[in-house]
Amino acid sequence: MTPGAVFNACYIPDPAKRTTRLVSPAWGTNDQGLEGIAPAVVLTCEYDRLHDEGARYAKALEKAGALVDHYDIPGVDHCFNLISGTREITEKAYKRMADHVKNAVAKSSPLS
């Protein structure tokens, strides 16, 4: 069994559900009709086998006016945050995500 097959079997055991919009937002035509979707931040990793799907989804979100940021992390693969030697890259990515959350919360706060 390939690593991808193992992941799929663990992540979504029912094969019929693996292509649904909530599981795979850029599969097939899932990235169409996004108008009104909540603002989103998309992180992709240069060497991730899901990179192109994530980048395509970011473009679809941008077209729908919902892309806040697309951060394409250079030189890393999926799970970069768990691999030794990527602490600086991981901290930069986490800070970027945290800053977006802080900004979103500040904008939606009744005190702002």
81 within 8 A of 22, measured Cβ to Cβ: no
Q: What is the pLDDT of residue 5?
A: 81
* Torsional class of 100: left (φ above 0), alpha (ψ -120 to 50), beta (otherwise): alpha
Domains of the chain by residue range: 1-28, 39-112
Q: Can you tell me the distance from the alpha carbon of 33 to that of 104, in angstroms, rounded to the nearest whole number?
A: 23
Q: Which two tokens stand for residue 7?
A: 């992941």
What is the block-wise mean pLDDT of the chain (112 residues), using blocks of 10 residues?
79 90 88 92 93 94 95 93 88 95 84 60
80's tokens: 């970069």
pLDDT for res 4? 73
pLDDT in tens, 12-40: 999 999 899 888 888 889 999 999 999 99
Q: What is the rounded distance in angstroms from the CA atom of residue 90 to the CA atom of residue 76?
A: 10
pLDDT of residue 6: 83
